[in-house]
Structure 1
Amino acid sequence: MAPRRLHDLDALRGFAMLLGIGLHASLAFFPAAWWVQDRTSGLDGLFDEFLWAVHGFRMPVFFLMSGFFTALLWRRRGLGALLNHRLRRVALPLVVGMLTIIPLTAAVGDWAAASAPPPEVADDDIWGKVFAGDVSGVEQLLDRGFDPDLRGEPGGWTFLHAAAFTGDVEMLDLLLSRGAEPAPIATASEGETPLGVAFHFGHEEAADLLVAHGGGDPLPEGIEWSAIPGWGAGAAETEEDEGSAARLDLSTVQRFFHLWFLWFLWFLLWLVAGFAIVALVVDRRDPHRPGQAAWPQWVMWSMIPLTIVPQLFMGGGGSYPVFGPDTSDGLVPLPHVLAYYATFFAFGALMYRSAGRRGKPLVDTIGRPWWLFLPVSFLIVLPAGLVFTFDEAAFSWPVASVLQVAYAWGMCFGLMGLFRELLAEERRGVRYLSDSSYWLYLAHLPLVVVAQAVIRDWDLTPEVKFLMISVAVTALLLLTYQLFIRYTPIGTMLNGKRLRPTA
């Protein structure tokens, strides 16, 4: 293969990075474990489908491209140059990001979550009002005829159980004054009576009030609640859990080692390390022609069915529904997730110098019928995969796994063909976006979270808000890239040294 710039593959790799901005922007608009929930958040839109659709192929595309360019650099410059390049362009940005971007993102996320308005409780949601401590609201509903001994499911708790759980003495007093049975028996494990619940969670005033109203036997004289074995066991467990969460969320040291959205750089280092081991073995077989060995194509094509093996372990082996690969953002990668991305990385590496039709380089022919790959993958395989993923039948997960793998590979090949069709020749604007995409992805998340928090209560449709966030964040980051990154040491670290054009 003649040394030439593969503008289409550069653009595709950048496209995969830029999609991350839209993916994270969408998380505020449907129920998700995310710092910001927009006032319009719900499951009646298409944002959850957008997430699954993008998540199902975005990082497979990225790692396939990374494998290809890793092999290209090795074969052109040798293993030493490859490792030096990856240390400067991947390892160093990862370390800098762990010291700067990750703590900043955590701080912004904490601010966004803390500034969220309290959840609205429906006017007739008496359970919600009891848990929220809305005494006047509960009183109004009791005046309207709600039974103070109404039981909920599961567990058969009454309102007294709920108030004892929160330790809300004022709520307990209201309910008891309205005739609530002081010692109803429930099937819940954390103390079957309201007094048992108050005891389990260590609410002393609540326990005293319940005893005073006949909710249990009074304490022997001179004995404190805290002296009884088991007192506050639930509170201790809760504090331990909250303490662990706080240590994770608030400790700067911990944040350095929680990779979050920078996990892909860590994975890339693992995969390059594995590649280097293979390259050393290959080079030793022919030390006079390093980086020139060829592999049989069946090894490359075997990566496609091999992907099904780690896919079967996603979502706890199908114990909970998930479309696309699991997220592994700790220092020790989840083995099945690393193996999953390794198949795409290996395919990309083996694709370099592989021959396609009529002896042409495979990279110049693969995905040629993109007009078939993309619609079949997006309109047929994706919907079918979602149906089987969220179906509870025993056979559904193996079928879903095959469909998810087919979707990922189909989108990879289709996008390669489409980008080659449209962007094989250099286009300055596309080239600029490709160059900037690394910075945009590394720096986008704090801005996305801030934007989500700022507009979450605006009276606009979620689609308009999503576009506003995506466009505004991208535009601002492009401006920072031009002014502060492209021709600075940061830009050199990310993309190599560039000279500012002279007037």
Structure 2
Amino acid sequence: MAAAADAVAAPAARLHALDAVRASALLLGIVLHATLSFIPGVELMPHLWPIADTQQSPVMSLVMYAIHVFRMPVFFLVAGFFAQQLLARQGVGGFCRNRAQRILGPLVVGWVLCFIAIVAVVTWAVARRHGGVLPDPLPPFMQETKPNFLHLWFLYVLLWLYGLTLLARGLWRRVDADGARLDRLLRRVLATPADALLLAAPVALALFLTPDWIVILGVPTPGYTLIPPLGPLFVYGYVFGIGWALGRQRGLLDVLARRWAWYGVLGALGGLVALFSARTHPGIVPITDLVPKAAYAVAYGIGLVASTLAFIGLGLRFFSKANAAVRYLADASYWIYIAHLPLVAALQTAVMLLPWHWAVKYIGINVVATALLVASYQLAVRRTWVGLWLNGKRVTA
């Protein structure tokens, strides 16, 4: 019975659309992180981002906010889907070996190399800001000793979610041996016109219960402690679980493909209401008033869930067929994301004192970083052991 439960959704064909969606979520990391040096007042918030450009714009704050609403939830939902598929194919032992190779290994090696590079770039940035020499004493943020998983925190959180999911899977079987109840629950939720609202309720509650929640930053980044904070761990674990449940019933993906436009409208409305609410609590300051906090949590939860479903549904609707260019970017996206942050930070540092318009700098950073990262993938990763390590198979064409 246990084996049958895991085999419910054994895949019959590759889902090219979800490959494209996952790649898009990773590649949007470049677009998002490139905004940070141009956010007004970022020089006063070095813990948010240590590089501040002399040319800044509120547009960059809006771009950062909009992408942050859905990007990581999309990634974790798709990760949950593919994790269920992997377990169905390879069993617990194969699943753990695969995740150790594809997630744990890149986390350890990637973090060490990126940390060294980021320290060098930030040191350069601080020196540039102070006329070419480091100040004495160093800024407080350069003396921090607490954990910092950088942009690779999502891999660390994934390891937690894999372990927690395997534990929950074992416990759930005691009350639902073949998973039929879970499957039926998801079918019923997606059968209602208010499915996104129902699915958003746990996210809203988690955000409302998160202490010291800074409204404008959305879901807190759980990358600064060895034990992830409960609030963001629940939110990302919850959307991971939705993806896992969808993996058991691939036919339900058709619902997302059909409703992507409706989800998009609802997600945009939720995000806009949340943004408007956040304007009543400007700056990087935790919200303490319970009523506005509840209103913001509800709006942001709806925006997060609906825009996540919309993004995935959009991919399912328009990118379901195999496409060589999309497949190439899907293969390259993991490497590009791991390697991108030091390069983006270096480019920001190189242009931060130039009197160019912020839009010229921002577009240039995105174009140059993407071109260099794609070139590095083609020349140093695609047909090497690194590509085999990251993507699980050697590319021959």
Pairwise TM-score range, normalised by the shorter structure: 0.7 to 0.9
Name the residue aligned to 1:80. Answer: 93
The letter for the 2-side match of 1:298 is: L
Is the Cα contact below 8 Å between 2:84 and 2:248 reproduced in 1? no
Q: Per-residue displacement from partner, 1:270-299 (whole Å, max 9, x unpaired)?
A: 000011113344678999xxxx64324426
Task: Work out the CA distance in 1 between the residues paired with 2:105 and 2:321.
Answer: 31
2:239 to 328, 344, 351: 344
Is the Cα contact below 8 Å between 1:314 and 1:326 reproduced in 2? no
**Unaligned residue ranges in structure 1 (runs of 5+):** 119-237, 356-360
**Is 1:11 aligned to residue 12 of structure 2?**
no
Task: Work out the CA distance in 2 between the residues paired with 1:284 and 1:371.
Answer: 39
Name the residue aligned to 1:183. Answer: none
Task: Work out the CA distance in 2 between the residues paired with 1:315 and 1:457.
Answer: 37
Name the residue aligned to 1:298. Answer: 185
Assess, with a 3 A threshold, how the Cα gap between structure 1 residues 244 and 465 changes in structure 2: closer, same or farther: closer
Task: Work out the CA distance in 2 between the residues paired with 1:243 and 1:19.
Answer: 30
**Is 1:455 aligned to residue 351 of structure 2?**
yes
Task: Work out the CA distance in 1 between the residues paired with 2:253 and 2:22.
Answer: 14
Q: Deviation of residue 246 (structure 1)?
A: 4.6
Q: Per-residue displacement from partner, 1:140-166 (whole Å, max 9, x unpaired)?
A: xxxxxxxxxxxxxxxxxxxxxxxxxxx
TM alignment of 1:363-402, pairs within 5 A: 363-378=253-268, 380-392=269-281, 395-402=291-298
Higher relative contact order (CA 8 A, sep 6+): 2
Is the Cα contact below 8 Å between 1:21 and 1:441 reproduced in 2? yes
1:266 to 141, 144, 156: 156
Task: Work out the CA distance in 1 between the residues paired with 2:352 and 2:395.
Answer: 41
What is the Cα-based RMSD across aligned positions, in Å? 2.5
Q: Deviation of residue 113 (structure 1)?
A: 2.0
**Is 1:353 aligned to residue 248 of structure 2?**
yes
Q: TM-score by structure 2 length? A: 0.84
Name the residue aligned to 2:53. Answer: 38
Task: Work out the CA distance in 2 between the residues paired with 1:315 and 1:279.
Answer: 29
Q: Secondary structure at the match of 2:215?
A: coil
1:326 to 200, 217, 220: 220
Assess, with a 3 A threshold, how the Cα gap between structure 1 residues 499 and 427 changes in structure 2: closer, same or farther: closer
1:92 to 94, 105, 114: 105
Is the Cα contact below 8 Å between 1:64 and 1:347 reproduced in 2? yes
The percent identity for this pair of structures is: 31
Q: Deviation of residue 377 (structure 1)?
A: 2.1
The letter for the 2-side match of 1:375 is: V
Is the Cα contact below 8 Å between 1:38 and 1:456 reproduced in 2? yes
Q: Per-residue displacement from partner, 1:342-395 (whole Å, max 9, x unpaired)?
A: 11011110112337xxxxx102322422222223422x2222111112325752
Q: Per-residue displacement from partner, 1:105-143 (whole Å, max 9, x unpaired)?
A: 12211211221256xxxxxxxxxxxxxxxxxxxxxxxxx
Q: Deviation of residue 456 (structure 1)?
A: 1.8
Is the Cα contact below 8 Å between 2:121 and 2:349 reproduced in 1? no
Q: Deviation of residue 73 (structure 1)?
A: 1.0
The letter for the 2-side match of 1:478 is: V
Q: Deviation of residue 313 (structure 1)?
A: 3.6
Task: Work out the CA distance in 2 between the residues paired with 1:56 and 1:94.
Answer: 24
The letter for the 2-side match of 1:489 is: W
Task: Work out the CA distance in 2 between the residues paired with 1:457 and 1:247.
Answer: 24
TM alignment of 1:100-179, pairs within 5 A: 100-116=113-129
Q: Secondary structure at the match of 2:275?
A: helix
Q: Per-residue displacement from partner, 1:198-245 (whole Å, max 9, x unpaired)?
A: xxxxxxxxxxxxxxxxxxxxxxxxxxxxxxxxxxxxxxxx98xx6975
Name the residue aligned to 2:300. Answer: 404
TM alignment of 1:22-33, pairs within 5 A: 22-30=31-39, 31-32=41-42, 33=46
Task: Work out the CA distance in 1 between the residues paired with 2:346 and 2:84.
Answer: 39
The letter for the 2-side match of 1:336 is: G
| Count, aligned residues | 360
Q: Per-residue displacement from partner, 1:26-75 (whole Å, max 9, x unpaired)?
A: 01112223222112124xx3110111111111111110111111111112
Name the residue aligned to 1:170. Answer: none
Q: Which one has the bigger helix percentage?
A: 2
**Unaligned residue ranges in structure 2 (runs of 5+):** 1-8, 190-197, 282-288
Assess, with a 3 A threshold, how the Cα gap between structure 1 residues 463 and 449 changes in structure 2: closer, same or farther: same
The letter for the 2-side match of 1:73 is: L
Name the residue aligned to 1:441. Answer: 337
Assess, with a 3 A threshold, how the Cα gap between structure 1 residues 273 and 441 changes in structure 2: closer, same or farther: same
Task: Work out the CA distance in 1 between the residues paired with 2:272 and 2:174.
Answer: 48
Task: Work out the CA distance in 2 between the residues paired with 1:489 and 1:109.
Answer: 30
Task: Work out the CA distance in 2 between the residues paired with 1:367 and 1:422.
Answer: 9
Q: Per-residue displacement from partner, 1:427-472 (whole Å, max 9, x unpaired)?
A: 0101111111111110001110111111123332211211110111
TM alignment of 1:280-291, pairs within 5 A: 280-281=170-171
Is the Cα contact below 8 Å between 2:263 and 2:306 reproduced in 1? yes
Assess, with a 3 A threshold, how the Cα gap between structure 1 residues 315 and 457 changes in structure 2: closer, same or farther: farther
Is the Cα contact below 8 Å between 1:315 and 1:321 reproduced in 2? no
Assess, with a 3 A threshold, how the Cα gap between structure 1 residues 285 and 372 changes in structure 2: closer, same or farther: closer
The letter for the 2-side match of 1:107 is: A
Task: Work out the CA distance in 1 between the residues paired with 2:274 and 2:64.
Answer: 14
Task: Work out the CA distance in 2 between the residues paired with 1:112 and 1:455.
Answer: 10
Name the residue aligned to 1:429. Answer: 325
Q: Secondary structure at the match of 2:248?
A: coil
Name the residue aligned to 1:173. Answer: none
Assess, with a 3 A threshold, how the Cα gap between structure 1 residues 315 and 283 changes in structure 2: closer, same or farther: closer
